[in-house]
Amino acid sequence: MSATPVPAAHAEAVLSVRDLAKRYGATDAVDRVSFEVRRNEIVGLLGPNGAGKTTTLNMIMGVLEPSAGSIAIEGVDLARDRARALARTNFAAVYAPLPGNLTVVQNLTWFGLLYDVRDVRTRIEATLDRFDLRRFRDTKCGVLSSGEQTRVSLAKAMLNEPTLLLLDEPTASLDPATAQDLRRVIRGIAERGHGGILWTSHNMYEVEDVCDRVLFLSHGRILLEGDPRALPREHGVDSLEALFIQLAREPLHGEAAR
């Protein structure tokens, strides 16, 4: 089935979400959300617990079926051509560790085959070097530190060279030095690659450090969008964290400010 045409204005969008909704009975978990992630861009999807972030990610990954709206990955409509849309997508999160009884290279081999990566052995060897994992090649993932496991998960997510990389709290529970190192790696992926990244985090310092643009989500709706370094000043607060708290506590005020 052919891909849905992409308007010229959105030609550089690797992800295009339009009027996306997810309803559970009378509850709108996600309520008519629209946004894009462009090539070489990191977009932060922010909001308090229950705002709809994970539900949105799960719909983009094809795990949940939307109640309404559309998702296109590089112009390919997810509902019309799921396999093609998801072929260049991948995901990493600290709460989704790889099987601990397999070594690093065994995990990468298994996922490389699952993703139908061409010349998988060569790709794995290059990935071990790229993510500084060669010394852990034959180590079982279950005995690695949190930071090392996160690095392996990120390496796994890059095996198929995804156009769209989804990161859900990728540095949660890591020590500051390890988190900073991983942010540098992820920033490099965005700048030197050919795709875009959608990133969720509750760490506002991290968001300011790594994201080009942020979306504030509350009660399933996007309240604000913009540069994480400029938004606080535009809304009369001194930090992104203060803005986050304000929007979480006063969603109607945030919607009016949109």
Tell me whether residue 93 is in a domain: no
Q: Are 130 and 171 part of one and the same domain?
A: no
Last residue within a domain, chosen from 108, 134, 161:
161
Tell me whether residue 19 is in a domain: yes
Angle, alpha carbons 44-128-160 (nearest 5°)? 55
**Cα(209)–Cα(212) distance, integer angstroms:** 9
pTM: 0.86
Q: Are 122 and 62 part of one and the same domain?
A: no
Q: Are 178 and 168 part of one and the same domain?
A: yes
Last residue within a domain, chosen from 161, 183, 208:
161
Angle, alpha carbons 106-159-82 (nearest 5°)? 115
Structure confidence at residue 66 (pLDDT): 96
The answer on pLDDT for 2 being more than 60 is no
**Cα(118)–Cα(26) distance, integer angstroms:** 46
Q: Are 186 and 84 part of one and the same domain?
A: yes
Query: Which has the higher per-residue pLDDT, 163 or 9?
Result: 163
Segment holding 17, helix H or strand E: strand 13-24
Average pLDDT, the chain: 88
Last residue within a domain, chosen from 119, 142, 161:
161
Which domain range does residue 81 map to?
8-88+162-256
Q: Are 56 and 172 part of one and the same domain?
A: yes
The answer on pLDDT for 51 being more than 50 is yes
Tokens 């060279």 -> residue? 161
Relative orientation angle of helices 120-130 and 146-157, to the nearest 10 degrees: 140
The answer on pLDDT for 78 being more than 90 is yes
